[in-house]
A and B are shown apart, each in its own frame.
Chain A
């Protein structure tokens, strides 16, 4: 089955700096890659996603890149703010949808003042 590895497990950056979280997946048939943000005690929320026919997608300060050949995708957050502090999960699905997502183990991002 699909396996998704996520690095780093913890990341501390200063406010205004950029943060990068990387994930690799094992199933070459995976074609949908969402990123979820989970604040302490709250539910995971979708922040951005990308399909396998796209190499990069950007939404304001957040961007995701996908390298199908290397089977890895990354989340980039620019101009980080304290409210970006949370646990971020990458995920992969071969269904092209949010069906049967395989998640990475999460990255705890801490943005310090």
Chain B
């Protein structure tokens, strides 16, 4: 069974640009969560999607958005990039929203210059 797949693995963007990251959950999993990981702040929850609906949202500005498709794949978008958005963005999937184990992907390393 394939794990959680995130693409691309690495990205370099310029301040002011926008970026879209993709996450394909484990086959059959319907819940997808996104986290931002930085050395200073650790892992911070961005949002959670289940059945194409955002179920929970963290404390991030509106520049951070996401969506989930009918096949459970999810994308997150960051507009008007800032230097502080440089981070590892991790996606985690669960079979359903009520599961206790979240399986993480390898992440997308975003660098904003």
Contacts and interface: CB of A to CB of B under 8 A. Distances in A.
Interface stretch (B15-23, B53-61, B69-77, B78-86): B53-61
Interface stretch (A10-18, A38-46, A61-69, A74-82): A38-46
B106 A99 contact: no
A99 B42 contact: no
- Residue of B31, B33, B56, B102 with most chain A CB atoms under a 10 A cut-off: B102
Contacts of A1: 59
Contacts of A89: 42-43
Nearest to A104: B42
Contact of A43 (B31, B45, B105): B105
Contacts of B90: 43-44
Nearest to B104: A43
A42 B6 CA distance: 13
Q: Please tell me the size bucket of the interface on B.
A: 20 to 34
A20 interface: no
Given A99-B33, A100-B48, A105 B102 contact: no
B43 A44 contact: yes
Nearest to B102: A98
Given A1-B59, A99-B55, A100-B58, A32 B100 contact: yes
Interface residues of A, number: 23
A51 to B, nearest CB: 8
A97 B102 CA distance: 9
Contact of B99 (A43, A97, A100): A97
Contact of A46 (B33, B56, B101, B106): B101
Contacts of A32: 100
A64 to B, nearest CB: 13
A101 B42 contact: no
B65 interface: no
Contacts of B33: 98-101
- Residue of B90, B104, B105 with most chain A CB atoms under a 10 A cut-off: B104
Which 4 pairs between the two chains have the least Cβ-Cβ distance? A98-B102, A103-B43, A43-B104, A105-B42
Interface of A: 1, 32, 34, 36, 42-46, 49, 89, 91, 96-106
